[in-house]
């Protein structure tokens, strides 16, 4: 019983996410360079104000098999050019691990992709649970006019691999056209050679 840990009580607010996080990760426009199709639009935004794109509020759970790590993410409303504010996106380092996303407020899309380039989306609104099966890379996109807030739960030993998405991108991007979100081919996407 050397690993016995005390239970944890966490208060989660539907608008603000985890109330007393142990750690808050902030991602600003400057952290998102190269991830949007329109570099000029990103640089222009950056020259005005290095805005906050999203925040992850984490609770300290051991990053070990058997545990379930949970956190909340808040994506602020906004766009880079025509593309909505979004997370960086990643595959899990241990790729055969799943994840659950549960929307608390706002709206947006969960965009998923396999190494072979197969794409799937789930429209998220309060009460929607999105299940990301093993082997799917994932990113979330705020297509609404308010904060998009969701809870995520994943295995303690999942880990994160950001490199694949950073180098190859997602096959699809979500852009605003006539006031509505539309999924388009990503001009910057580089397919993985061997899947």
Task: Give, as ranges, the residues between 37 and 76 that touch ligand PAN (CB under 6 A).
Answer: 56, 71, 73
Q: How many residues touch ligand PAN (CB under 6 A)? A: 13
At 156, list the tokens. 């303690």
Contacts of 118 (CB under 8 A, 6+ apart): none
- In 10 A of CB 23, how many CB atoms? 11
Contacts of 103 (CB under 8 A, 6+ apart): 124, 125, 126, 127, 128, 129, 130, 148, 149, 150
Q: What share of the chain is helix, strand, coil (3-state, %, to 5)?
A: 10, 40, 50
How far does the chain reach from its first CA to its final CA, in angstroms? 41
Instruction: Establish if 97 lies at the interface with ligand PAN (CB under 6 A).
Output: no
Q: Coil, strand or helix: which one is 39?
A: helix
The binding track of 81-100 with respect to Zn ion, each residue x by CB under 5 A or -, is ------------------x-
Instruction: Establish if 154 lies at the interface with ligand PAN (CB under 6 A).
Output: yes
Q: Which does 89 bind (CB under 5 to 8 A by kind): ligand PAN, Zn ion, none?
A: ligand PAN
- Pairing between strand 79-80 and 68-75? unpaired
Task: Give, as ranges, the residues between 11 and 70 that touch Zn ion (CB under 5 A).
Answer: none
Write down the least CB distance from residue 88 to ligand PAN, Å.
4
At 146, list the tokens. 């308010």
Write down the least CB distance from residue 81 to Zn ion, Å.
26
Instruction: Establish if 90 lies at the interface with ligand PAN (CB under 6 A).
Output: yes
Task: Give, as ranges, the residues between 157 and 176 that touch ligand PAN (CB under 6 A).
Answer: 158
The smaller minimum CB distance to ligand PAN, of residues 82 and 94, is found at 94
Residue ranges that bind Zn ion, judged by CB under 5 A? 99
User: What residues line the site for ligand PAN (CB under 6 A)?
Assistant: 56, 71, 73, 87-90, 99, 138, 140, 152, 154, 158
């Amino acid at each position: 019983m050397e690993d016995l840990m005390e239970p944890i009580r966490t208060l989660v607010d539907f608008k603000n996410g985890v109330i007393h996080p142990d750690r808050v990760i902030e991602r600003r426009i400057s952290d998102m360079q190269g991830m949007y199709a329109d570099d000029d639009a990103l640089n222009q935004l950056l020259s005005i104000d290095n805005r906050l794109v999203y925040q992850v509020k984490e609770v300290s759970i051991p990053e070990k098999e058997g545990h379930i790590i949970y956190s909340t993410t808040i994506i602020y409303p906004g766009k880079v050019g025509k593309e909505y504010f979004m997370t960086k996106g990643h595959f899990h380092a241990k790729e055969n691990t799943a994840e659950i996303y549960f929307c608390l407020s706002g709206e947006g899309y969960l965009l998923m992709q396999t190494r072979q380039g197969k794409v799937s989306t789930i429209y998220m609104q309060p009460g929607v649970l999105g299940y990301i099966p093993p082997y799917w890379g994932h990113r979330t996109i705020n297509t609404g006019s308010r904060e998009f807030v969701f809870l995520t739960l994943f295995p303690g030993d999942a880990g994160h691999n950001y490199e694949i998405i950073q180098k190859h991108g997602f096959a699809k991007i979500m852009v605003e056209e006539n006031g509505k979100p539309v999924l388009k081919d990503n001009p910057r996407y580089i397919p993985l050679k061997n899947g």
